[in-house]
Amino acid sequence: MILFATVDLFSATPENVKTIDEVEISLELKNESLLNAFKKIEALSPFHFMYRNEDIKDVVNLNNPGKKQSVKAHLEALLANTELTYKQIDKRILISKENRQSSTTGSETNQQASLADLQEKIVSGRVTDPAGQGIPGVNIIIKGTTTGTVSDGEGDYRISVPDGAAVLVFSSVGFITEEITVGNQNVVNISLYQDVESLSEVVVTAFGLEREKKSLTYATQDVPTQQMSQARELNVINSLQGRVAGLSINTAGAGVGSEARVVLRGNRSISGDNQPLYVIDGVPTLGNPSDLSPDMIASINVLKGPNAAALYGSAAQNGAIIIETKRGKKGETRISVNNTYMINDPSIPIEFQNVYGQGLGGVYDMRTEEAWGPRMEGQLVDHWSLDPDSPAQYAFSPNPNNKSDVFQKGYNLASNVIATMGTEKTQGIFSYTLTKAAGIVPNNELLRHNATVGINSQLSKRLRLESKISFMQQNLENQLPTGPSNYNPVMQIYKMPSNISTADAINFDYLNDGGLLRQNFWNPNTDIGANPYWTLNRNLNESKRTRAILMSALHYKLTDDLTIMARGSYDVSNTNGDVKYYNDTYTRAPKGRYDVFENENSLFNGEFLLSYAKDISSNWDFNINFGGSTRMLRSGGIYVNTLPAAGLLAENLFAISNTTEHEITHDPGLNSDLQSLYGFGQIAWKNAIFLDITGRNDWSSTLPAQNRSYFYPSVGVSAVVSDLITMPTAVSLIKLRGSWAQVGNAAQPYMLSRTARFLEGGRNGFLELSNILPNPDLRPETTESIEIGMDIRFFKNRLGLDLTAYRTNTIDQLFTIGLPIGSGAASYYTNGGDIENKGIEALLTVVPVVSKNLSWEMNFNFGLNRNMVLEISDERPKLVVGSDGYLRDFIVEQGKPFGEIYSKNTWKRDEQGRVLVGPSGIPISADEGRRIANFNPDWMGGVYNNITFKNFNLGFLIEHRQGGTLVSMTNAILDGYGLTERTLLGREGGLVFGENIFPDEVAVVEETGEINNIATDAQTFWRSTGGRSQPYAEAFVESATNTRLRELTFGYTLPNNMLSRVGISNVRISLVGRNLLFLYRASKGLEPDYLSQGTGIISEGYQAFAPPTTRSYGINLSIDF
């Protein structure tokens, strides 16, 4: 009785599974086999079949008119003239011969026997590529049956098998098919090796839609993501360096938590920031997602240029980076843990001199920051310290490590846990990442929490819900000020003369006779100097940032061909913090200062999309989409600070109430609204020729009413020639493509009104009007782009070349034109100009070795871009876009490449370009600037090698940048102060400009016209050439050419038989590194990655006291349960 009850329970259909007589389908068969009939029923219903091949292989020539009826009725008809019968068990349908089992009746013994044949086990595991990255969409089939499943976005799968003798067949386009016998394993992990026969890869494009890669009419590039969570960057965007053709990334030199500047295919806008749009799970985000946890990234696809990103509108005229995050998994519960610890090791690139110490003219001066003093030979000199308890004298000796002593080894520690769970209808994911980091500059620390909860639910047969909430909280302490600022500790470290010992400098403060805390510095009350330890410990800042991203989408299937999607997202961030400057912070805060601030930014996106797809015939199919969106950007902030003149009443008591004067500033922010309607479609012939057409119309609140609406279209075509013409066996693929696009870009907010600000003073304050007049006729900026490309692959895709050529022209640029004196304003906004970018991109894939135990894949990328300012305005052919105030101007000039760098002060030259020197042998100032540099590279490229041998994997990325120049304020000040090695020459005289200093220049004496042979000394030359105030910038131009080992990972995956017994499905341990070394660097004292004036357009080509080069190395451990 107990045995029979167990059999009945096991064979009963669960309540939440429909029976075969409840599910109706339309099944059309024309002279087809029973096997094909089963496949069609599986595709049209939730059921799958279990059978023996020998039982069904001879049942052929079946016909069925396509009448809609229950699955049971179809089975009755199909099996009517056979010896076969069926039985539903859960979602499975068991097919067997009548002598083994009856369709409706039979002895309990026979039922038990059939069920015994069906007794199954659950097998799960992960399918990965040789690098250990999960492969989505792999078909896993029980050999000899149609029973199977598909791996999810992580490469994970779960399948029921009849017994241990079952053989699993793993197959996927682009990989060699593998077979594994289950045996007694419950966890089966496998790596698949490349063997691509077709171009059926799927990529995520605009609005989160998936498309077959071969159907794309524009250039995109997928980026592997596994290494991002192993060799980690605090700013995940930096992980793209060297991986994408045509992509340039530089980092603000602000220590941990620094932002990045990302440019695709060159700068094209004068007033914009030229950075791409970031899209996460189909919706645009609020700026750069630098705080996104790499553990949650499932895929990254870079849409290059306007052609690829036209549907996202003006925000994507510079391209788009599409990020898809991980999701829940059907039918399984899995927990993954990932831990990374990396050490950041500073390496100071500048060569400092350790021969001469503080002083001027060879004489010791304890009250100077310059090193033009005597040789350091251990002689006793008066101590510089202001502390009454300091000794009167000290030994005047070099301290070559006094700068490196200030820096420390930083670290980056990240721990992540991801839990996924789900049923057939509802799947969920939870992720939490804890990140702790310390910079190479003491007290620069970061603590970040990332948490995400996501759910996908099939609410009904036609209605599907996606919803996700991501939350980030970050505390950032003492982010580094950049540039030649009193508060920048790197500048103060580098400016320490070698005679200052670490033991003395670290006593950075003392109590004066009144018991008050004061700075201990060798040059008190200087304009730009400070004891570096004072800067680190007495100039403090802290910011706390929270960010939440909420997204929800509903997908409703109106018919089998027609779907509507409605989606909304809200991205909001709040940042607050304070800045504390202790009393005796020279010049900027001699009486102390306290600032507090808070700002909030938000972006709301709401959209709908109606999609229709239809196969017209066996050769023709098409899809058409229509949608609309609304975008609301809001921002604002408030800033309160104590005024330097008043300072703090009670020293170093940091409270706004602790002052007699303070300033309150309210920033209304840059607020704008954008409404859009768009449509796009594709028609395909024989799945080989594809035509794309898009159109979008925007209505922007930042433009005048008559120009508020602007329309822009795009069209593209691609042809897979190898699918149309028979090719030699060596040719795997030939694809040609071309596209044209136009994208509009609205103005910045408030260009339509004359702005004003309130200032303190008088009885009621003052109102100050902006000196820029609005323009009621502003038009949107427009970018027009044309792109052609080809993709060729040989030898089963072991050799592949993807080439792209493009040209973009951005017209109706937004800038200002000067007004005459007496007009009541200085300038007004206008449209004009034409900036052109054209270039070539190449992706080369080579697979030298593929075998069962060994694989080697090489991926090369190359990008060359040339930009030219074809036109600005006859009234203003040259625009000063920005300046640092002392060294250079960032200029856009008609007829010249974008981003020319002009010196503030330059050497005077004759008509032949020779430098004119005065009677003392020192170059003469021209009292004007000239073009000295341009940061744009000649070309950039990278090569990634991925080598796998059995369970070992080695991956390394080498990146090269050729060309581009920048100007270094760091070198200008350090050389002017006599602190660098190159200032040693000529200390005793004999320095001749054009001969032994700057020998590449031809110098002539202005008075005589003769070649210069007048000797001078190093102090005279470098103090007149360098320094902070109006140095000759051309003397400090550096090349940005470099080759570096950008990334290295070496990992080992433990064998399955070591893990399955303890409930673990995968363990991988890796040694990881980032920016380990320069293979070549044209300017050895330069870190070409860093920027020194924010991440805006004017930051390019300028460096001032950026942190040292940092190598990162560590270990990563990932465990899947």
pLDDT digits (tens, 9 = 90+) for 442-482: 999 999 999 999 999 999 999 999 999 999 999 999 999 99
Q: What is the mean pLDDT of residues 50-79?
A: 83
Burial 171-201 (b: 16+ CB within 10 A, else e): ebebbbebebebeebebbbbbbbbbbebbee
Residue 159 lies in a domain: yes
201 — pLDDT class (breaks 50, 70, 90): low
Burial 446-475 (b: 16+ CB within 10 A, else e): bebebbbebbbbeeeeeebebebebebebe
pLDDT in tens, 604-634: 999 999 999 988 888 899 999 999 999 999 9
CA distance 632 to 552: 17
When divided into structural domains, the chain yields a total of 3
Residue 68 lies in a domain: yes
Regarding whether 1071 and 967 lie in a shared domain, the answer is yes
Name which residue leads in pLDDT, 121 or 1110. 1110
Q: What is the mean pLDDT of residues 62-88?
A: 87
Residue 1117 lies in a domain: yes
Q: Alpha carbon of 895 to those of 929, 931, 990: distances in Å?
A: 18, 13, 43
Q: Are 814 and 270 in contact (CB under 8 A)?
A: yes
Q: What is the mean pLDDT of residues 976-994?
A: 97
Regarding whether 881 and 1011 lie in a shared domain, the answer is yes
Highest-confidence segment of 361-365, 826-830, 1081-1085? 361-365
102 — pLDDT class (breaks 50, 70, 90): very low
766 — pLDDT class (breaks 50, 70, 90): confident
- Tokens representing 17? 């599974």
pLDDT in tens, 888-911: 999 999 999 999 999 999 999 999
1016 — pLDDT class (breaks 50, 70, 90): very high
Instruction: Sort 750 into a burial class: Cβ within 10 Å, 0-12 / 13-18 / 19+.
Output: middle
Regarding whether 37 and 179 lie in a shared domain, the answer is no
Q: What pLDDT score does 274 carry?
A: 87
Our CA angle for 714, 720, 724, nearest 5°, is 130
Q: What pLDDT score does 136 carry?
A: 80
pLDDT in tens, 860-879: 999 999 999 999 988 888 88
400 — pLDDT class (breaks 50, 70, 90): very high
CA distance 718 to 715: 11
Identify the helix (H) or strand (E) that includes residue 503: helix 502-505
Q: What percent of the chain has pLDDT over 90?
A: 61
Among 170, 191, 212, the domain-final residue is: 191
Highest-confidence segment of 181-195, 522-536, 841-855? 522-536
Regarding whether 1023 and 882 lie in a shared domain, the answer is yes
Tell whether the model's pLDDT for residue 784 goes beyond 80: yes
Q: What pLDDT score does 811 carry?
A: 93
Q: What pLDDT score does 120 carry?
A: 58
For residue 687, count other CB atoms closer than 10 A to its CB.
15
Across 887-1002, the runs of DSSP E, i.e. the strands, are 888-893, 900-903, 915-917, 931-934, 939-949, 952-962, 965-968
Our CA angle for 344, 347, 350, nearest 5°, is 150
Q: Are 512 and 518 in contact (CB under 8 A)?
A: yes
Residue 335 lies in a domain: no
Residues 6+ apart with CB under 8 A from 1009: none
Regarding whether 155 and 48 lie in a shared domain, the answer is no
1068 — pLDDT class (breaks 50, 70, 90): very high
12 — pLDDT class (breaks 50, 70, 90): very low
Regarding whether 149 and 107 lie in a shared domain, the answer is no
Give 837-890 as a DSSP string: EEEEEEEEEEEEEE-SSEEEEEEEEEEEEEEEEEE--SS-SEEEEEE-SSSEEE
Instruction: Sort 273 into a burial class: Cβ within 10 Å, 0-12 / 13-18 / 19+.
Output: middle
Tell whether the model's pLDDT for residue 7 goes beyond 60: no
Among 191, 215, 230, the domain-final residue is: 191
Q: What pLDDT score does 157 carry?
A: 86
Q: What pLDDT score does 96 carry?
A: 80
Instruction: Sort 763 into a burial class: Cβ within 10 Å, 0-12 / 13-18 / 19+.
Output: exposed
Q: Residue 168 belongs to a domain with what CATH number?
A: 2.60.40.1120
Residue 306 lies in a domain: no
Regarding whether 130 and 100 lie in a shared domain, the answer is no
Residue 931 lies in a domain: yes
Regarding whether 131 and 109 lie in a shared domain, the answer is no
pLDDT in tens, 1071-1082: 999 999 999 999
Alpha carbon 193 to chain centroid, angstroms: 28
Q: Which domain holds residue 94?
A: 2-114
Pseudo-torsion of CA 1057, 1063, 1069, 1074, nearest 10°?
Answer: 140
Pseudo-torsion of CA 941, 899, 300, 306, nearest 10°?
Answer: -110
pLDDT in tens, 557-596: 999 899 999 999 999 999 999 999 999 999 889 999 999 9
Give the SS3 label for residue 618.
coil
Give 785-844 as a DSSP string: EEEEEEEEEETTTTEEEEEEEEEEEEEEEEEEEE--TTSSSSEEEEEEEEEEEEEEEEEE
Q: Are 1087 and 1109 in contact (CB under 8 A)?
A: yes
Tell whether the model's pLDDT for residue 91 goes beyond 50: yes
Give 893-910 as a DSSP string: ETTS-SSEEEESB-B-B-
Q: What pLDDT score does 101 carry?
A: 43
Instruction: Sort 1022 into a burial class: Cβ within 10 Å, 0-12 / 13-18 / 19+.
Output: buried
Side-chain half-sphere CA neighbours of 1084 within 13 A:
6
Among 191, 221, 250, the domain-final residue is: 191
Tell whether the model's pLDDT for residue 716 goes beyond 60: yes
CA distance 715 to 737: 11
Residue 304 lies in a domain: no
- Computed over every residue of the chain, the mean pLDDT equals 89
Q: What is the mean pLDDT of residues 529-547?
A: 97
Regarding whether 152 and 66 lie in a shared domain, the answer is no
For residue 426, count other CB atoms closer than 10 A to its CB.
15
Q: What pLDDT score does 104 carry?
A: 40
Regarding whether 54 and 81 lie in a shared domain, the answer is yes
Q: Alpha carbon of 785 to those of 681, 747, 810: distances in Å?
A: 19, 20, 9
Q: What pLDDT score does 403 carry?
A: 97
pLDDT in tens, 153-166: 678 888 888 777 78
CA distance 815 to 330: 54
Q: What pLDDT score does 1093 carry?
A: 81
Q: What pLDDT score does 927 carry?
A: 82
The DSSP symbol for 406 reads T
CA distance 988 to 195: 69
Regarding whether 176 and 88 lie in a shared domain, the answer is no
pLDDT in tens, 818-855: 777 777 788 888 888 899 999 999 999 999 998 878 99
CA distance 1063 to 333: 12
For residue 275, count other CB atoms closer than 10 A to its CB.
22
Q: What is the mean pLDDT of residues 968-994?
A: 97
Q: Residue 25 belongs to a domain with what CATH number?
A: 3.55.50.30
Residue 602 lies in a domain: no
Regarding whether 126 and 110 lie in a shared domain, the answer is no
Q: Which of 539, 498, 466 is nearest to 374 (CA)?
A: 498
Q: What pLDDT score does 83 carry?
A: 86
